[in-house]
Amino acid sequence: MKKYFLLLLVPMMMFSACGEQKAENPFLSDYTTPFGVPPFDQIKNEHFVPAMEEAMLQHNAEIDAIVSNPEAPTFENTIAALDYSGHSLNKIAFVFYNFNSSNTSPEIEAIASELAPKLSAHGDNISLNPELFKRIQAVYEQKENLNLTGEQARLLEQTYKSFVRNGAALPEENQERFREINQRLALLTLEFGQNALGEVNNYKMVVENEADLAGLPRSVIDAAAETAAAQGLEGQWVFTLQNPSVMPFLAYAENRELRQQLQQAYVNRGNNGNEFDNNAIIGEIVNLRLERAQLLGYSSHAEFVLEENMAKTVGTVTSFLEELWGYALPIAKEEAAMMQELIDARGGDYKLAAWDWRYYAEQVRKEKYDLNEEEIRQYFELNTVRDGVFMVVNKLYGLQFVERTDIPKYHPEAVAYEVLEADGSHRGILYMDFHPRESKRGGAWMSSYRDQYVDRAGNYVHPVITLVTNFSRPTASQPALLTYDEMTTFFHEFGHALHGLLSDVTYPGLSGTNVARDFVELPSQIMENWAKDPAVMKDFALHHETREPMPQELMDKLVASGHFNQGFETVEFLASTLLDMEYHTITEPYAADQLDQVARITNERTINKYTMMPEIYFRHGSTHFQHIFSGGYSSGYYSYIWSGILDADAYEAFREAGDLFDPATALAFRKNVLERGGTEDPMALYVKFRGHEPEVEPLLRQRGLLR
């Protein structure tokens, strides 16, 4: 559920005392834009703090109204009223934190640092309000006699648990410390993310000698030249730590010394002893999370987090990860041996290292499957892939996408679409923002500017969703061509977008992606199956110049290579999941003089415990592991591969139906997963769709891990 400083429909009377502010601050009045999207063209940075402060006052008044209600506590006057509370604050927070991720600036970062402790304190004032908790508890204790709908019962259960997990049942003497921890963590996690972005923006590798570009595709060279020219370095080439720059260099550059230089810079983000160093921050975060969990009666932070996930226990997660590790590690070692043979055959007098893996994987791919990533990219032009995504979604769910140029956008590069149902009725608004820039953090994600819900007057509120990526930019000589991984990432994030767009619930706190962390990746990961299926790919994999479909021969090679390098990819990912668990299963805090060494200690402990291969580093190293230190996935990074079991098993349902777009199966998935948000236990929702709990074999087959 969302933190309780969010989500309330604010009565208009609350604005009566701020007439001048209303006229000047677009947040303090109803939006008059098409479909009620945020008026981005009117929003200025100076609007955020006063609007947030006013909205917190409004929220406090609404909480006071719930607490002081002379009527006995009921579901409607306490639980529903609380869930709808904070609407004004919520709409501002959605805009601000999306800006902080995809359109940030030093000014936005400073505002975020100013707001973090205020919002944390505001949330704690609600979660730790004893009179409010008494009312919630009173409703909870009579839940069996209230004749609630399934969604209402779920909201009551989640509300009560959330308050307990946020310290409401703590003795008063512990609540002040609980508040201090939350406020400090709010600042630390924010600072961690800012440092990670700062490190990326601070680094560049300048290549002056054209001979050092040997092996690189022309598109990569052109992009590096354009980056250099933009920085006043005409005639040179600049490579950055953005994925569209660093990954192709590691895969194609023949210059081993430069590969090592760039790879080491990439894995050492946040670990350079400069102003962006995250080592001490990690130690403090880990200790504070442990202390907070133990205040609540849990032995570790992981135990606290997993209680609310599908997996439920640390033992379940660790045994699951170790089982997969046992399948994947031997295959990764076979892959390493294959690459070492190639190095030796070519007269290389060195052992395979981490900065060699992607390069020699590409070489082996060429030799074994006659595949060239650059050739594949010619068939994945960004707009064509987008149309392929639209085609798949239309076939599955009947949705249509109409570009709207009359809707305000938060950045000139963003594109807005109205999403329509098959009958032409409005479903929601979708923003898409594709390319890297200094104001955008790395990676790809879906978020929202407004969640779907039904307001207290019975009006259906449609969602406003945003999908953000960092795909390769077009160059002067060619359009934006996606790698195979970028293409599947597009489908992945669109699955998250569907989870938000197709939500059909009543209460805001249960809407869309407000589900267990290890369930939220199911809608996204299942979409990757259509992306990779040759029967589907043939309809959108079109050459960007000739518009000819990908030749069957090339498609066959892609299918044949489907399991290639899966040992590496699985081990690299699992290494980070195990690292996450090593951080958050500790039961004793680190000493004060160890805090700046926690990352090193935990890295070494994980490497030694699982006998990690030196040729494969963590997919996300500690000092830039934003998922767990600033992104909400602490003790939950395993969710991606847990959801991999769900998505592989779910896709089997379409295969069993004999039609990848089987209408009945698609409708069942929409009705039982995409529409239901957090209204039921996730396993119950899955079983309603599939008829049984997920099985692991489809995932192992999908990844080629069964021998």
Q: Which of 303, 493, 572, 582 is catalytic?
A: 493
Cα angle 455-451-524, degrees, rounded to a multiple of 5:
145
Q: At residue 83, what are phi and psi to the nearest 5 degrees?
A: -65, -35
CB 497 within 8 A of CB 467: yes
Which is it for strands 426-433 and 464-468: parallel, antiparallel or unpaired? parallel
If phi > 0 it is left, if psi is from -120 to 50 it is alpha, else beta; for residue 273 that is left
Of residues 398, 355, 115, the one with CA closest to residue 258? 355
Of residues 667, 653, 570, the one with CA closest to residue 610? 570
Q: Please name the residues in contact with 636: beta carbons below 8 A apart, sequence gap of 6 or more.
A: 305, 306, 309, 517, 518, 580, 628
Show the tokens assigned to 625: 């592991």
**DSSP letter assigned to residue 542:** B
Q: DSSP for 560-583? A: HTTTTTHHHHHHHHHHHHHHHHHH
**DSSP letter assigned to residue 430:** E
Distance (Å, whole) CA 199 – CA 274 = 9
Distance (Å, whole) CA 629 – CA 583 = 10
| Owner of token pair 């990848």 | 660
Show the tokens assigned to 336: 């390493």
**DSSP letter assigned to residue 381:** B
Cβ neighbour number for residue 165 with a 10 Å cutoff:
17
If phi > 0 it is left, if psi is from -120 to 50 it is alpha, else beta; for residue 134 that is alpha
User: Which residues is 464 bridged to in the sheet?
Assistant: 429, 450
**DSSP letter assigned to residue 299:** S
| Owner of token pair 């021969």 | 553
Show the tokens assigned to 170: 């703590």
CB 572 within 8 A of CB 335: no
User: Which secondary structure element, helix H or strand E, spans residue 362, and what is its range?
Assistant: helix 354-369
Q: Is 493 a catalytic residue?
A: yes
- Rg over CA atoms, the chain: 25
Q: Where are the alpha helices (DSSP H) in 48-149?
A: 48-67, 81-84, 87-102, 106-127, 130-141
Catalytic residues: 493
